[in-house]
Amino acid sequence: MVGKTVVMTGATSGLGAVAAETLARRGAKVVVVARDAARGARTMARLTAANPNVTHRLHLGDLSRLTDMKRVGAEIAEAEPIVHVLANNAGAMFKARQITEDGLERTFATNHMAYLVLTLGLKASLEAAGGARVVNTASAAHRGQRFNPADMQSLKNYSGPFAYGRSKLYNILFTRELARRWAGTGITVNCFHPGVVATRFGDDSGGWLALLARAVKTFAITPEQGAQTLIYLAASRKVAGITGEYFDRCAVIEARPPARDDAAAAALFTASMKLAGLPD
């Protein structure tokens, strides 16, 4: 990873922090997108300690806000004309249905729309790398979910786990469609299931959902274990040229049938572009 630039969301804690520090130790310059300035500063200190030979960078923005993601994407593209790896890793789950200032359901905005907007904002920088990689953190939580174009944002019968699972289905569908659209650009696009990882995820969800998240994590794997597939997809020569796939434990596996529906992937992409105000 010496000489390579990695852009990562969700790098201030959990498996993202482990992956960011590991890639930095291997020589990468890491560019972090974070919402919290204090956590971001602590992350910069850890990255500098891991690799003091490069200048790591922090960009602050709220992943649930389209204006922030467009701004951050433009700022990074200007500062980093070449990006070798983009890791869309941040995710959230909310007990109650919340609406962002853009009129989007917050889980949908944070876990799906941020992936799309930031990735498209960095397309030119990724193309300039001549063999860049986009890595999207998905989840086995997509099981049991289906794409419903009439209710993409969980307007009916909302629950935190259901909306989260649906957003993870969207991550896989987005990966497939972007890989198809970017075929021939030299950019690969893959996603993965990290496992049930003992991180801060879900702790701020509130009420019974936060208690459930903490209970589940008593049986979870460590962030170091959960980060391995992200590190593998970002750095391993073994996956060079592989695109549009879903990984678990550093191996390609088959996602559930609704996540392999190419018509749904195309429809989701088009609808999301419209919501983002971007040309399809």
SS3 52: coil
How far apart, in whole angstroms, are the C-alpha atoms of residue 212 and residue 109?
A: 23
- Which amino acid belongs to residue 137? T
Radius of gyration of the chain (CA): 17
Contact 167, 112 (CB under 8 A): yes
How far apart, in whole angstroms, are the C-alpha atoms of residue 65 and residue 110?
A: 8
Contact 204, 236 (CB under 8 A): no
In the set 164, 170, 232, 246, the catalytic residue is 164
Is 115 an annotated catalytic residue?
Answer: no
How far apart, in whole angstroms, are the C-alpha atoms of residue 39 and residue 26?
A: 22
Q: Are strands 85-88 and 57-60 parallel, antiparallel or unpaired?
A: unpaired
221 to each of 214, 241, 253, how far by Cα in Å?
A: 13, 29, 19
Structure-block tokens of residue 150: 């009439």
Tell how far CA 12 is from the center of its chain.
Answer: 13
DSSP 257: G
219 to each of 213, 223, 248, how far by Cα in Å?
A: 11, 13, 18
User: Which residues are designated catalytic?
Assistant: 164
